[in-house]
Amino acid sequence: MADGLRHTPRRHNARRRVAAAGALGAAAFLAAVAPAPAAAASDAGDEDMSTTIIGGVDATEEYPFMASLQFDGEHFCGGSLIDEEWVVTAAHCVLEDDPEQVTARIGSNDHTSGGTEVGVSRIVTHPGFALDPAANDIAVVELAEPVGQEPIALAPKAGGAGTPTRILGWGMTCDSDEDCPETPTVLQELDTEIVSDDQCTGFDGATEICTQHPAEDAQACYGDSGGPQIRRGPDGWELIGATSRDGDYDSDPLCSTGPAIWTDITAYDDWIRSTIAA
């Protein structure tokens, strides 16, 4: 989907559009449109991008690496702590964001309290990021100071079709804004699996992961963008993906039916390491 799953807090009637985070009609990115900072991107879409994991459950364990990216205290995208000072997320989440206006809450299952709240000093989007066609939907966010939470390790590889994974997020829990006027404050989790590349459209198998839940009515949605897809490794959870967009938006714009696309974080290992070392 050229529509990202980024979330827009409803009580702020701000219209930060998908063109700022990924244009409607280009790719359905799963970000929530946050209240627009002064440097917000252009208004080139007509619909708010708001959602959370559909069919998930309240988090069953602590995820110290989980990050909520926020503007004015409102969650708009997820991310993953990969270093004591760095979070990885989707590029469409932070496109044209002013770092001084973004904060992160790290290591809490409630995006309104707990964990560590910290400012952002720098945002680096991948130089090859594009909206249409969607490509290289990845960014790293430098925190204003180190945090004490344990970062998540990057997996060596994402895995092939059939690999069990889990997705995390605070996005919408159903397809309709009318049926779900509020998004959860408690982190949601959903067990999923990687499916074959041909299940997703507008997809690059070299740098992206096509993922689906075995049952219908269960998937990432608006507000989940940037959040982690994880898999079990020998020493615990490992990071493989960042939530990007719907996998069949052209034929079915509903989040709950069909696959979704994650940026394959493991494919960007060298770029991530060189960027945070610079």
137 carries an active-site annotation: yes
Q: Identify the active-site residue in 48, 83, 137, 246.
A: 137
> What integer pLDDT is reported at residue 205 of this predicted model?
95
177 carries an active-site annotation: no
Residue 122 and residue 154 in contact, taking contact as beta carbons nearer than 8 Å: no
Query: Distance between CA atoms of 41 and 49, rounded to whole angstroms?
Result: 14
> What integer pLDDT is reported at residue 233 of this predicted model?
97
Residue 267 and residue 276 in contact, taking contact as beta carbons nearer than 8 Å: no
Task: Report percent pLDDT > 70 for the chain.
Answer: 70
The predicted model gives 59-79 an average pLDDT of: 96
48 carries an active-site annotation: no
| pTM recorded for the entire structure | 0.81
CATH number of 57-276: 2.40.10.10
> What integer pLDDT is reported at residue 81 of this predicted model?
99
Q: Identify the active-site residue in 92, 111, 126, 213.
A: 92
DSSP the chain: -BEEEE---TTS-----HHHHS-TTTBEEEEE-PPPPTT------SS------BS-EE-SS--TTEEEEEETTEEEEEEEEEETTEEEE-HHHHTT--GGGEEEEES-SBTTSSSEEEEEEEEEE-TT-EETTEE---EEEEESS--SSPPPEEPS----TT-EEEEEE---SSS-TTT--S--SB-EEEEEEE--GGGSSS--TTTEEEEE-SSSS-B--TT-TT-EEEEEETTEEEEEEEEEEESSTTT---SSSS-EEEEEGGGGHHHHHHHHH-
Q: Identify the active-site residue in 225, 244, 246, 264.
A: 225
Query: What pLDDT band is residue 48 in, cutting at 50, 70 and 90?
Result: very low
Q: What is the pLDDT of residues 125-184, one digit of tens each?
A: 999 999 888 999 999 999 999 999 999 999 999 999 999 999 999 976 665 555 565 677
